[in-house]
Amino acid sequence: MTTRRQFIAASGGSLALLSLSGVAPGILAQAASAHAAEGGDRVLVVIQLSGGNDGLNTVVPIGDPEYYKNRFTLAIGKNAVLKIQDGLGFHPSLVGLSKVLEAGSLAIVQGVGYPQPNRSHFESMDIWHTARMQNEGRTQGWLGRYLDATGGRREAEVAGLHLGEERQPLALASLSTAIPSIQSMERFRLEAGRRGDLSSDIDMAVAAARPAGDDLLSFVQRSTSGALAASRRVEKALAKPGSNVRYPSTGLGQKLQTVAQLIGAGLETRVYYLTLDGFDTHSDQDDSHAALLGELSGAVAAFCDDMSKRGQADRVLGIAFSEFGRRVKENASRGTDHGAAAPLFAFGGKVTPGVIGKHPSLTDLDDGDLKYHTDFRRVYATLLEGWLGWPTRDVLGGDHKPLPILKA
């Protein structure tokens, strides 16, 4: 008889590159007919800027003298910024995003945050991932709840996909939806044949390891089968030719190129989740922050160009967020410490281009940090109701007024 330990070991051989966020069986009796009619084929791409992006040096308030008083070595010169509008400009590394804005495909949402901001990376990211202010009930992510509610556990589909070497984000944690993580595209391609050879052995091991009445193992069985099906579909989609758009040879650039290829190949995936790490710039911020913004900018610009050339721009929406911004005043190490409110970017063919909301005051502060004026859950409400066609309350646990990010 196959033991649980043998089953897990056998499963691990085939799923080394695919991990699952579901941890227990669950049934959500939501009818999805309205969802299929409204936003049923739209795609959401989420880019997480991990570490706390310095919003003040990303969207620069060059018209405010307080900026230069507080950023005595880190301030971006007025002549160096890429103009957004009077008094505001992009960091000079954001050439690509500046072009996306000029093309009418970028929205800049100012002053995004939440009440009583938490300056811990882990706590703040958990809040963003779950849309829950309190620690209770943070077993599911906001996107995991959405995919569960819309019936994302159908084996034939890959409802959501995480691309990255890091642990799968809590935002995708679900009760009943198998959400694969692709840790390395190169390893995925190299081991695709090996995974195919093992799949029948894994299916047999799963069946042999299932004792009667074991609900947890039954769920793992369904999830494993779903992961194998997802693996085969992703492999098939990646085998199709890509476009002639040239992407930067950066980590984020390669991930977004993969997303574009999967979208172009017709993979029925609603949510893609990617991360760009390194924004915890406590010291010597200048060069590292410039490089990170350049990586973000070049990758997003190439992706938007690719979506446009594939005729997919109007059905793909992307956002880039960070768990918090940085303090207004730079520190003694030529860096910045954990702050609060920060800008958020939305990109795609259906966004309302330009700046949404005023830049937060640099004199009316919250313990040295910018005060938020736009709750991030309003952004989520816009994505859910305005883009994905799903009721906000079902996922966020409350009503939050959408923002004018999308064109009517």
Instruction: Please report, in tens digits, the pLDDT of each residue of the chain (408 residues total).
Output: 344 334 333 333 333 344 444 333 333 333 344 444 455 699 999 999 999 999 999 999 999 999 999 999 999 999 999 999 999 999 999 999 999 999 999 999 999 999 999 999 999 999 999 999 988 778 899 999 999 999 765 555 789 999 988 889 999 999 888 888 887 666 555 455 555 544 444 344 444 444 555 554 554 555 566 666 666 777 777 777 778 999 999 999 999 999 999 999 888 899 999 999 999 999 999 999 999 999 999 999 999 999 999 999 999 999 999 999 999 999 999 999 999 999 999 999 999 999 999 999 999 999 999 999 999 999 999 999 999 999 999 899 889 999 999 998
Is 307:313 a contact under the CB 8 Å cutoff? yes
CA 53/CA 338 separation, integer angstroms: 9
Give the C-alpha distances (Å, rounded to integers) separating 167 from 127, 258, 376: 17, 19, 23
Is 52:336 a contact under the CB 8 Å cutoff? no
Residue environment code for 239-248, b if the CB has 16+ CB neighbours within 10 A, otherwise e: eeeebebebb
Contacts with 164 (C-beta within 8 Å, 6 or more apart), sequence order: 181, 182, 183, 255, 273, 274, 275
17-198+226-396: CATH architecture:
3-Layer(aba) Sandwich (3.40)
CA 91/CA 62 separation, integer angstroms: 11
CA 246/CA 273 separation, integer angstroms: 21
Which pair of tokens denotes residue 157?
Answer: 């589909």
